[in-house]
Amino acid sequence: MLFPPNSALLFVSALAVASANPLQRQHSFLATNATCPIDTISCSGEPVSPCCSPTNGLLVLALQWDTRWGPSNAFTVHGLWPDTCEGKQLPANGCDPARAYTNITSIIRSSDVSLLADMNTYWPSNKGDNNWFWTHEWVKHGTCVSTLHPQCYAEDAYRPQQEVADYFRTILDLRTKYDLYKALAKHDIVPTEPESGRRPKNTYSLKQFKQAILSEWGVEPNVRCIGRRLQEVFLWFKVRGRDNYYPVQPYGRDSCGAISYQRKTTAA
């Protein structure tokens, strides 16, 4: 890992200052050094500020295919879930009770109305209202992204709850960059119309899904089904620097054999 000039000594000094709040300790380090090293890789084992590289640095982007929700030509978002570097899940109640906000819709609306519109389109809830779903994702997962802690922002630039909008925008940007619908269609994997009372006209194999995504991004996904019906596709990531997400080989399991990838019934 490369450090800016004279930063190595400062970093060692920062580590030597014991504190009950490591992020508060590291914030002074960031203020002193202005920027974080850009080539740090999450889960590499290198000593680095949790503001400069996510502590829970193995993340899964869960994209879902629900025929009742979202545009007909797009997977919708379930979430971006930080895991430990060993692939273990984090606590169900999240990592920071002090930031367990329940008014996500109003926070996003006051920050970026275009982001809110995108969330309504590409991140709909299929079990309750959208705010309930987004609140769950923020509390359980968003609060566990260490690089988005308020103390990791420059003091003169941070706006209250800015990290919430940054979390959701990052995920929607990843959904756009890793457009599963387009990637699959490029390899002739498209939703099919089921025959009434019978199996779908066409099913795809797990191998076809994995090979299509491997061809596009150099890694395989995990593919999840309920029975034969496609449910979700997981893409796994590590992070270079603070927020440069890049795909890695999967750490999870598949639950599909033959895959029924059915057309949506939504009008969009």
Contacts of 5 (CB under 8 A, 6+ apart): none
Distance CA 14, CA 224 (A): 44
Greatest pairwise CA separation for the chain in angstroms: 70
Q: Which of 141, 149, 220, 232 is catalytic?
A: 141
Instruction: Choose among 191, 210, 198: nearest CA to 254.
Output: 210
Report the 10 Å Cβ neighbour count for 21.
Answer: 10
Catalytic residue among 27, 78, 136, 149: 78
The backbone torsions φ and ψ at residue 42, rounded to the nearest 5 degrees and listed phi first, read -60, 145
Q: Are 174 and 76 in contact (CB under 8 A)?
A: no
Q: Give the burial string for 92-125 (b: 16+ CB within 10 Å, else e).
A: eebbeeebebeebbebbeebbeebbebbeebbbe
What amino acid occupies position 154? A
Read off the tokens for 7.
């930063």
- How far out from the chain centre does Cα 255 lie? 21
Q: Is 78 a catalytic residue?
A: yes
Which residue from 235, 132, 241, 242 is spatially nearest to 183, judged by alpha carbons?
235
CA 166 to chain centre: 12
- How far apart, in whole angstroms, are the C-alpha atoms of residue 69 and residue 44? 38
Tell me which of 27, 136, 137, 149 is the catalytic residue.
Answer: 137
Enumerate the active-site residues: 78, 137, 141
